[in-house]
Amino acid sequence: MGSDSQLATIALAAHYAAPLAVVVGTTLGMLIADVPAVFVGNKFAAKIPMKLVHSVAAAIFAIMGVLTLLEVDKLF
């Protein structure tokens, strides 16, 4: 199953006559957005305990799962 970025790239490539340009453009856009995030994340990873990160991520995931089961989508 593809991510939303992959699906958007496929849709744009199907819509425009230059699919190679669309793929190159979306790839460059993702790199411009992701590369700085990777470097910043790497700096924080050295200072923040990974057990804490995993615990917080698990808690958020569990809360979102419960909210989904309760269909509490009206809050956001």
Residues 41 and 53 in one domain: no
Residue 71's alpha-carbon distances to 34, 37, 61, 66, 68, in angstroms, are 32, 32, 15, 8, 5
Average pLDDT over residues 34-41: 92
State yes or no: pLDDT of 59 exceeds 90. yes
Where in the sequence is the domain holding 64, given as residue range(s)? 49-76
Burial (CB count <10 Å: 0-12, 13-18, 19+), residue 9: buried
Give the model's pLDDT for residue 32: 95
**DSSP assignment letter at 73:** G
State yes or no: pLDDT of 2 exceeds 70. no
Residues 40 and 58 in one domain: no
State yes or no: pLDDT of 34 exceeds 70. yes
Distance CA 67, CA 61 (A): 10
Arithmetic mean of pLDDT over the chain: 88
Residues 12 and 40 in one domain: yes
Question: Are 22 and 16 in contact, with CB atoms under 8 Å apart?
Answer: yes
Give the model's pLDDT for residue 60: 97
Q: Please count the structural domains in the chain.
A: 2
